[in-house]
Structure 1
Amino acid sequence: MSFNNLDQLYRSVIMDHYKNPRNKGEIDEGAVTIDMNNPTCGDRIHLTLQVEDGIVKDAKFDGEGCSISMSSASMMTQIVKGKTVEEAEELADIFSKMMLGEEFDEDKYDLGDVEALQGVAKFPARIKCATLAWKAMEKGVKAE
């Protein structure tokens, strides 16, 4: 697949998550709640996590922001569900390295749609948009 076709595919995945967010909403009972914002651009996220016995049983988000921020939140909630807290933290570390253009173990986890955000690394001003939900999740699993 050519670079342009791959770039177009990634853009369509990002827009799909933005227009059709997965796990949008709030967990009502027994959830950790994290509210964070990016003062630079105004993105904000309200994340709720249900963690039981060291496993992320459910993750939902709400918020306002750009397509990068909201699609990243959608992707993050999908990939951490069913993972242990340690695995969720590892995924956040891998995502952070991906955003910074650093080496990471691509074989450790199937990143699925999350890989579509790799191109954000080329735009330093947008990295905070992409990482907002992930930082909220890290804060939430540490609070557990």
Structure 2
Amino acid sequence: MSMQSNLDALYRQVIMDHYKNPRNRGEIVGDALTVNMNNPSCGDKIQLHLKVDGDVVRDARFTGEGCSISLSSASMMTETVMGKTVDEALELSGIFFGIVQGEDYDDEKYDLGDVEALQGVTKFPARIKCATLAWKAMEKGLDKD
């Protein structure tokens, strides 16, 4: 088995772990931003809940239904942005949109953790919308304009 095959298998395991054991699934009780997004082409639906205190994302949770890519991406995104400033979360989102389209990023500067497992989505263009759904919801919720 080649090194790339081993890496692909590991990434699939990480994605399935987040799908079967989602992190931060649920709602935030109390004052929170709520954003609903859906992908009509495949039926994925995400409701994202964000608690922003000052300029920091204190909590991020999601509910919804969809494919393994969509829900695992939501799980990974919530883990990634909690504790980050709004600007940092939006910057990480931009990096994520790049990597699912095959762009490189500075992995010395940015630790994406499990999110790196979604790099392989670039091989399946129809699944990019699935992977980016929760991230688009986060950007919409944190939009400062």
Kindly indicate whether the alpha-carbon contact (under 8 Å) linking 1:32 and 1:143 is maintained by their aligned counterparts in 2. Answer: no
Structure 1 unaligned segments of length 5 or more: list them: none
Distance 2:79 2:131 in 1: 15
Structure 1 residues 1-144: aligned runs within 5 Å? 2-142=3-143
Distance 1:133 1:108 in 2: 23
* TM-score, reference length from structure 2: 0.96
Distance 2:139 2:108 in 1: 22
Distance 1:105 1:131 in 2: 20
Alignment size in residue pairs: 144
**AA partner of residue 132 (structure 1):** L
**AA partner of residue 13 (structure 1):** V
Distance 2:144 2:66 in 1: 25
**AA partner of residue 142 (structure 2):** V
Distance 1:128 1:106 in 2: 23
**AA partner of residue 88 (structure 2):** E
Structure 1 position 128, deviation (Å): 0.1
Give the match's secondary structure for 2:122. helix
* TM-score, reference length from structure 1: 0.96
Give the match's secondary structure for 1:105. coil
Q: Spell out structure 1 runs of 4+ moving beyond 4 A.
A: none
